[in-house]
Each structure stands twice: as structure tokens, then as C-alpha cells.
């Protein structure tokens, strides 16, 4: 059950009202998470900026969604997990690969390695070794794509943690 009410252009104040108005003008509507994030203009603004920045990531979108599925399977945000599974399906990712991502791996060794890195960034980033980074480079990942994994994981931590604290779940209708 949601713990915070959704805000609208009419009920939000200050910077949140401005951000929501701009989003509604551009997209027509905003979802539960964004309208609930409007309780904190700092959180909403940070989410919007990081989300926009990650659209310029060099890590391919399919791989990014698989990393997100693995992270959200660990973090436990059902709303985020459902969103990333739907996005992966829309990109043509097979049900087998989606299931493997839930378990933190892939049938493709290169994708399995980058998913593994994402989970390690999520769980214990201090344990990442030079050898792991060298292995990812040998598998064809650029330094930029490797760094983008940190951004993907960070965005997932933010959205997942927010949704869990706010009590947002798949299918919330308010």
C-alpha cells in the first residue's frame, strides 16, 4: 500500500510543481513513482538528471535491461523489476535470458560478466579487482561501457529504494 500520496501539478509546490508541469507538458502524464517523488524536489530532480544522463550510455540497452533485472531481483522492487522485464521483452530479449538475468547470469559469457559486475557494484563495489576489469575489456567492453554499469546500478538503487520506501508496487492505481 502506498505510504505517500501522489502529487500533481496542482498539489505540488515550488520546484516540484515546475518539474511536474514540464513533464506533463512533454509527455502528457507522469507515473506513480515520478508523481510520488515530487514530495522531494531534490530526489525528483536527481532522478530526472541521472535518467537523462543514462540515455547517453554506451552500454547497449538490452544489456542494460538485463543488468537492471539482476539488480532489481536482488533489491526486491517489484515495480522496477516488472518495468525492466517489460522493457527487455520489448527489445526482443528471450524469456530464457530474462530468467537467467533474474538469477544474475546470461547464456552469453560477455553479458554474464557484465551482469556479474553490476551485481558486484550493487553488493560490494570495493571487492572489484583489476583482473575483473581487464577481463571485461578482453570481452570487448570499453571503459565507458564498464563505467556506465555503475550508472545503471545507481539509477536502479535510487528508483528501487524510493519505490520500496514509498510502498509503490506493480498495479498501484490511485
pLDDT at 73 over 60: yes
Domain chopping of the chain, boundaries: 14-54, 61-166
Domain 61-166's class? mainly alpha
| pLDDT, tens only, 132-145 | 999 999 999 999 99
| pLDDT, tens only, 82-131 | 999 999 999 999 999 999 999 999 999 999 999 999 999 999 999 999 99
The model's pTM:
0.92
Confidence of residue 163 (pLDDT cuts 50, 70, 90): very high
Look at residue 172 in the predicted model and tell me its pLDDT.
52
Percent with pLDDT over 90 in the chain: 90
HEC assignment per residue over the chain:
CCCCCCCCCCCCCHHHHHHHHHHHHHHCCCCHHHHHHCCCHHHHHHHHHHHHHHCCCCCCHHHHHHHHHHHHHHHCCHHHHHHHHHHHHHCCCCHHHHHHHHCCCCCCHHHHHHHHHHHHHHHCHHHCCHHHHHHHHHCCCCHHHHHHHHHHHHHHHHHHHHHHHHCCCCCCCC
Amino acid at each position: 500500500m502506498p505510504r505517500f500520496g501522489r502529487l500533481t501539478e496542482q498539489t505540488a509546490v515550488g520546484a516540484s510543481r515546475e518539474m511536474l508541469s514540464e513533464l506533463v507538458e512533454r509527455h502528457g502524464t507522469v507515473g506513480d513513482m515520478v508523481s510520488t517523488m515530487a514530495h522531494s524536489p531534490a530526489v525528483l530532480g536527481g532522478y530526472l538528471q541521472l535518467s537523462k544522463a543514462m540515455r547517453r550510455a554506451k552500454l547497449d540497452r538490452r544489456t542494460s535491461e538485463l543488468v537492471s533485472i539482476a539488480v532489481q531481483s536482488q533489491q526486491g522492487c517489484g515495480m522496477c523489476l516488472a518495468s525492466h522485464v517489460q522493457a527487455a521483452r520489448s527489445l526482443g530479449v528471450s524469456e530464457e535470458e530474462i530468467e537467467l538475468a533474474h538469477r544474475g547470469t546470461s547464456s552469453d559469457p560477455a553479458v554474464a560478466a557484465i551482469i556479474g559486475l553490476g551485481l558486484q557494484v550493487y553488493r560490494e563495489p570495493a571487492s572489484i579487482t583489476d583482473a575483473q576489469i581487464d577481463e571485461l575489456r578482453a570481452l570487448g567492453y570499453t571503459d565507458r561501457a564498464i563505467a556506465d554499469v555503475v550508472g545503471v546500478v545507481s539509477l536502479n538503487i535510487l528508483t528501487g529504494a524510493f519505490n520500496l520506501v514509498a510502498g509503490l508496487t506493480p498495479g498501484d492505481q490511485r
